[in-house]
Amino acid sequence: MAANKFIISQQRKNCIGCGSCCMYSPDCWKINDQDGKADLIGGVQKGTVVVAEVGMEYLEENKKVASACPMQIIKLNK
pLDDT tens digit sequence for 34-75: 999 999 999 999 999 999 999 999 999 999 999 999 999 999
Q: CA–CA distance from 43 to each of 12, 23, 54 (Å)? A: 11, 18, 10
For residue 1, what pLDDT is reported? 61
Kindly tell me if the per-residue pLDDT of 78 is higher than 90: no
For residue 75, what pLDDT is reported? 98
Residue 15 binned pLDDT confidence (cut-offs 50, 70, 90): very high
Backbone φ and ψ for 3, nearest 5 degrees, come out as -65, -20
Beta bridge partner(s), residue 50:
10, 45
Mean pLDDT, residues 11-31 taken together = 98
Fold of 5-77: Alpha-Beta Plaits (3.30.70)
52: left (phi over 0), alpha (psi -120 to 50) or beta: beta
For residue 3, what pLDDT is reported? 83
